[in-house]
Amino acid sequence: MMEPRALDGWSSPSAVAAIARAIGAIRIDRPVTLMHVCGTHEHAIARAGIRALLPEGVRLVAGPGCPVCVCPARDVDLAIAAARRQGTVLATFGDMMRVPATEGSLESARADGADVRVVYSPADAVDLARERSGRTVILMAVGFETTAAPIAASLAADPPDNFLVIPSLRLIPPALRFLLDRGAGAIDGFILPGHASVVIGRAGYRFLEEEYRVASVIAGFEPVDVLQGVHSLLSRIAARESGPVMNEYRRVVHEDGNPKAREAIDRCFAPADAAWRGIGVIPLSGLALREPYERRDAVRALGLEAARGAVDVRPGCLCHRVILGEVEPEECALFARTCTPRSPFGPCMVSSEGTCRARYTYRRIAG
Amino acid sequence: MCLGIPMRIVSRDGNDAVAESSSVRKQVRLDLLEGAGVGDYVLIHAGYAIERIDEREALETLDLIRRVYEAGRRDDPA
């Protein structure tokens, strides 16, 4: 067998049924809202139909956990401007291709002749820069801590001078603070993102237990992982205690995360205020390149300018409320009508991890 | 986007390695992982190994989950 035995069993139907039963046996006398902040969780939850297994009165909502969805239109506008320059190649993760910019998308820019390439890894973009030494290769650097680490590693490994990035990375802990500060009492518990947690560790969330006293659990992405996370949260909530941040993804998440990954990020970047699409600026939630890597910032190096009046939320789109867990995708009049994966109107319908896209793809199963 | 794929390292040359999952082989980078070696199961994100997968921990947790919930089931009068 090619897969380790340890990776089997996390989606076993009997285990799922047993945990779902245990969840059903927890008595809570009030409605409860749990939020996850991870596109991979949303995709897993929608695919496995987890919401249908939860007791009445327990809502499991998706927060701003899809990096593609929260990437501001201005940054996509800048990427398109970079791609249209003579002598440039714009490299991007595939998820970004159809994200609506103020006008068009990277995909439509490519159709118009701009050189836009989809890469799987920042290392692929660096290879592209080596192969195309006469061109400037610009990586659209979108993602959370998980992706910031590989991008930092690619910058630290002495790439050629014609490799630049458009920094549009975001950090999870400042977003959690923002969510808690704005809606006191609205969120009863957090399911924390498994793979961002690989980097920052359980220690990265200490403020949740010390300052906010909100029940929180780090969970993985198989059905058993997610249900185990829900069970842990509901047990705490039923007992009316928040307790320490729980780690139910111990097979990859350690107390201090991955120190080497965090060092790579800290070496290349410094926290900076950053805008989240449809939400606004969240203090110190982004990453700006720091010396000596500042010269890799394509926006500065090429003097890229975004047109004024970037449009994050197009009229009629509810992505900005979906992303905060305020409305369900189905409550948007455009959902599955004007807005579909083939022709996304808002950013949450683009990536397979966008809340609207995941809901659309699995809507028959989700019921 | 933060998708992590479990793969096994089959060969390495410095920070360049080949990892395998089912029948897929991929070039991956080990810059972010201290001391990863051939045979280790790792989590791959965007072409980089970001963590080792602790197989023993995984098995123990699964086993614990099974025992706890199955015990709960036996105690359940319904």
With cut-offs at 50, 70 and 90, classify the pLDDT of residue B5.
Answer: confident
Closest residue to A120, CB basis, from B4, B46, B66: B46
Scanning every residue of chain B, which has its alpha carbon at the shortest distance from the alpha carbon of A227? B65
Residue-level pLDDT at B71: 62
* d(C-alpha A139, C-alpha A125), whole Å: 7
B47: which chain A residues are within 8 Å (Cβ-Cβ)? 120-124, 150
Phi-psi category of A243—alpha, beta or left, where left has phi over 0 and alpha has psi -120 to 50? left
Mutation to test the A interface, candidates B50, B52, B74, most A Cβ within 10 Å: B50
| Closest Cα in chain A, distance from residue B33 (Å) | 7
pTM metric for this prediction: 0.93
Closest residue to B69, CB basis, from A19, A252, A258: A19
Query: How are beta strands A269-276 and A280-289 bridged, if at all?
Result: antiparallel
Residue whose structure tokens are 């409550």:
A331
Scanning every residue of chain A, which has its alpha carbon at the shortest distance from the alpha carbon of B19? A2
Q: Do A18 and B70 touch (CB under 8 A)?
A: yes
Contact present, A250 and B61 (Cβ < 8 Å): yes
Nearest to A45 by CA among A277, A320, A250, A229: A229
Q: Do B46 and A353 touch (CB under 8 A)?
A: no
Domain holding A153: CATH number? 3.40.50.11740
Is residue A289 situated within a structural domain? yes
Closest residue to B1, CB basis, from A19, A21, A67: A67
CB atoms within 10 A of CB A213: 12
Domain B5-75 has CATH 3.40.50.2300: no
Q: Do A93 and B73 touch (CB under 8 A)?
A: no
Is residue A43 situated within a structural domain? no
B51: which chain A residues are within 8 Å (Cβ-Cβ)? 198, 252-254, 258
DSSP string, chain B: ----EEEEEEEEETTEEEEEETTEEEEEE-TTSTT--TT-EEEEETTEEEEE--HHHHHHHHHHHHHHHHHHHHH---
**Per-domain residue ranges for chain B?**
5-75
- Per the structure, the complete domain to which residue A292 belongs is given by 71-171+257-301
Contact present, A58 and A91 (Cβ < 8 Å): no
Contact present, A301 and A164 (Cβ < 8 Å): yes
What pLDDT tens digit does each residue of chain A (367 aa) get?
Answer: 334 555 566 777 788 888 999 999 999 989 999 999 999 999 899 989 999 999 999 999 999 999 999 999 999 999 999 999 999 999 999 999 999 999 999 999 999 999 999 999 999 999 999 999 999 999 999 999 999 999 999 999 999 999 999 999 999 999 999 999 987 568 999 999 999 999 999 999 999 999 999 999 999 998 899 999 999 999 999 999 999 999 999 999 999 999 999 999 999 999 999 999 999 999 999 999 999 999 999 999 999 988 788 999 999 999 999 999 999 999 999 999 999 999 999 999 999 889 999 999 998 654 4
Interval B56-71: pLDDT, tens: 887 777 777 777 776 6
Closest residue to B61, CB basis, from A153, A196, A251: A251
Provide the number of structural domains found in chain A: 1
Contact present, A33 and A324 (Cβ < 8 Å): no
